[in-house]
């Protein structure tokens, strides 16, 4: 701040100096960077790009602890590049085509497979199998060419969250069937509580509702091929999803387009709403009520399909094809998927992550996380969430406005699905 206050006089004097080019050159040489370059002495240097800004919280602390543990264990110097989550994600294309780090944090699913296809990330199949990594995670790390390009590190499930004390006080129980679910919501409405908190100002939270309804009504396989652009968006299946959603909307908070997910979470935290379909990050927004939270998975809607699929986005690591130090990057990526890496991360931060590696210690986990592990292990199919399972442009430029349009005008399902299909055809070709 103070340093910014260069006076007009000094700026002008600077302009007046004929030697200004020299002056600014020395000024800049000072900030050319502190990297001494590539290999040095016993250990090499791996550049590690992370999608958490320095000091932003437990997620950053975990990555930092992993990097430190890796240096300790292998004598490899890790050069960290911390960028805030949203900027990193929005710039991923220029990042990978520019001067990327060797290893970087990324997501499983279509978003990873897209880069594999474009040749922007490195084939890691020679690093697999990884000890303690289940088949479902190996599946999630595999791109279209049956090779692995990703190392999973952690995940979190999407489910219906509620306050235990509110349920106890009203004598409610977590429903397991559709009938129980509907009865519960009607009872809530009768007691003046909005059954389901809902906010879609940011556009993405409602994707979770679409995902789970589609998986419950049409099954996991249909959901995944729909996401991959192989099914029709204006077919009966998708119309069925929107149709059911329209019937459930009266049980949701009204006017969701004017409400952020944080505000919706607050309403559940205060007991004004009964449940909220969201990821486990909901605890960040409910304050002291976090201790009181519990969850259940979305009940079965079609007995021939069951309720064994859910959204549980997996975070992990990729190696950039344009990274300078391929071998060291691959080795580090493999290590980052190990139980030792997960333990180092969870011991180094206030809040643990749910490790993808089954060998990782669960002693630091909260009750919610322990339950998450159970629920996800019990699920036979895991989706990554719409914006990770499908083309990123399709998710943000087509699905966000389309779902918002549906929430504004739930009766025009034919028009909305036709418009999605038209745009999907042009994106997926």
Partner 1 sequence: MSIETPVTVPLPADTTAAGPPKRAEGGVMSRPRGVVVTVIVALLALAWLFPLVWAVVNSFREYEYTQANGYLSFGGWTTANYEQAWTQGNFGLHLRNSLLITIPAVVLTLWLSSMVAFVLARFSYRFNLTLLGIFLAANLLPPQALLIPVFRMFREIPLPFFMSDSGSMLNSFWGLILVNTAFQMGFCTFVLSNYMKTLPHEIYESAELDGASVWRQYWQLTMPLVRPALAALATLQVTWVYNEFFWATVLIQQGDKLPVTSALNNLRGQFFTDTNLVAAGSVIVALPVLVVFFALQKQFVSGLTLGSTKG
In the complex, the smallest distance separating the C-beta of residue 91 from partner 1, rounded to whole angstroms, is 7
**What separation, in Å, do the N-terminal and C-terminal C-alpha atoms of the chain show?**
51
Of 112, 213, 226, 285, the residue at the interface with partner 1 (CB under 8 A) is 285
In the complex, the smallest distance separating the C-beta of residue 22 from partner 1, rounded to whole angstroms, is 11
DSSP state letters, 25-90: HHHHHTTS-----S--SSS-EEEEEESS-TTSSHHHHHHHHHHHHHHHHH--EEEEEE--HHHHHH
Return the H-helix or E-strand segment holding 158.
strand 158-163
Size of the site for partner 1 (CB under 8 A): 59
Q: Is 170 exposed, middle or buried (0-12, 13-18, 19+ CB in 10 A)?
A: middle
Which range touches partner 1 (CB under 8 A), out of 8-16, 107-115, 292-300, 419-427?
Answer: 8-16
Rounded Cα distance, 208 and 219, in Å: 15
Quick check: 26 binds partner 1 (CB under 8 A)?
Answer: no
Question: Between residues 301 and 395, which has the closer beta carbon with respect to partner 1?
Answer: 395
Helices 236-248 and 413-428 pack at an angle, to 10 degrees, of: 130
The footprint of partner 1 on residues 90-109 (CB under 8 A) is: 90-91, 94-95, 97-100
The footprint of partner 1 on residues 218-237 (CB under 8 A) is: none
Rounded Cα distance, 348 and 61, in Å: 6
Length of the chain: 429
The footprint of partner 1 on residues 366-405 (CB under 8 A) is: none
The footprint of partner 1 on residues 247-276 (CB under 8 A) is: 261-263, 266, 270
Quick one: tokens of 233? 């968006």
Residue 75 near residue 335 (C-beta atoms within 8 A): no
Rounded Cα distance, 164 and 289, in Å: 10
In the complex, the smallest distance separating the C-beta of residue 338 from partner 1, rounded to whole angstroms, is 24
Which range touches partner 1 (CB under 8 A), out of 19-27, 137-145, 227-235, 345-353?
Answer: 19-27
Which range touches partner 1 (CB under 8 A), out of 75-83, 179-187, 353-361, 386-394?
Answer: 75-83
Question: Between residues 51 and 346, which has the closer beta carbon with respect to partner 1?
Answer: 51
Beta strands in 370-421 (DSSP E): 381-383
Quick check: 29 binds partner 1 (CB under 8 A)?
Answer: yes
Of 3, 304, 363, 426, the residue at the interface with partner 1 (CB under 8 A) is 3
Residue 265's closest CA among 245, 250, 280, 249? 280
Quick check: 87 binds partner 1 (CB under 8 A)?
Answer: yes
In the complex, the smallest distance separating the C-beta of residue 55 from partner 1, rounded to whole angstroms, is 5
Phi, psi of 174 (to 5 degrees): -60, 125
Binding-site ranges for partner 1 (CB under 8 A): 1, 3-8, 11-12, 14-16, 18, 20-21, 24, 27-29, 31-35, 37, 49, 51-57, 59, 81-87, 90-91, 94-95, 97-100, 261-263, 266, 270, 279, 281, 284-285, 287
């Amino acid at each position: 701040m103070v340093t910014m206050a260069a006076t007009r006089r000094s700026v002008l004097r600077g302009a007046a100096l004929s030697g200004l080019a020299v002056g600014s050159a020395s000024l800049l040489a000072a900030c050319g960077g502190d990297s001494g370059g590539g290999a040095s002495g016993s250990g090499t240097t791996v550049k590690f790009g992370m999608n958490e800004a320095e000091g932003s919280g437990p997620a950053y602390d975990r990555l930092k602890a992993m990097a430190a543990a890796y240096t300790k264990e292998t004598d490899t110097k890790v050069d960290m590049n911390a960028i805030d989550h949203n900027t990193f994600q929005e710039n991923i294309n220029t990042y990978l085509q520019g001067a990327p780090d060797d290893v970087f944090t990324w997501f499983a699913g279509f978003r990873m497979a897209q880069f594999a296809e474009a040749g922007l990330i490195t084939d890691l199949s020679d690093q697999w199998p990884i000890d303690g990594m289940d088949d479902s995670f190996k599946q999630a790390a595999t791109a279209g060419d049956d090779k692995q390009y990703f190392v999973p590190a952690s995940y979190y499930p999407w489910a219906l969250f509620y306050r235990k004390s509110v349920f106890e006080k009203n004598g409610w129980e977590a429903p397991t069937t559709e009938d129980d679910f509907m009865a519960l919501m009607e009872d809530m409405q009768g007691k003046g509580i909005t059954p389901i908190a809902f906010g879609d100002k940011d556009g993405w939270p409602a994707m979770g509702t679409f995902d789970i309804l589609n998986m419950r009504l049409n099954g996991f396989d249909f959901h995944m091929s729909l996401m991959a652009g192989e099914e029709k968006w204006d077919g009966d299946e998708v119309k069925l999803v929107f149709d059911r959603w329209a019937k459930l909307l009266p049980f949701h908070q009204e006017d969701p387009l004017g409400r952020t997910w944080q505000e919706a979470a607050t309403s559940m935290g205060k007991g004004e709403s009964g449940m909220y379909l969201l990821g486990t990050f909901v605890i960040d927004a409910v304050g002291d009520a976090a201790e009181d939270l519990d969850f259940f998975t979305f009940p079965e809607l079609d007995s021939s399909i069951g309720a064994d699929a859910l959204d549980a986005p997996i975070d992990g690591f990729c190696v950039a094809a344009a990274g300078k130090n391929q071998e060291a990057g691959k080795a580090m990526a493999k290590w980052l998927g190990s139980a030792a890496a997960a333990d180092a991360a969870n011991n180094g931060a206030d809040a643990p992550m749910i490790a993808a590696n089954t060998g990782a210690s669960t002693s630091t986990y909260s009750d919610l996380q322990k339950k998450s592990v159970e629920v996800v292990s019990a699920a036979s199919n895991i989706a990554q969430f719409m914006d990770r399972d499908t083309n990123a442009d399709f998710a943000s430029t087509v699905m966000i406005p389309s779902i918002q349009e549906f929430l504004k005008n739930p009766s025009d399902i034919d028009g909305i699905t036709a418009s999605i299909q038209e745009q999907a055809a042009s994106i997926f070709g």
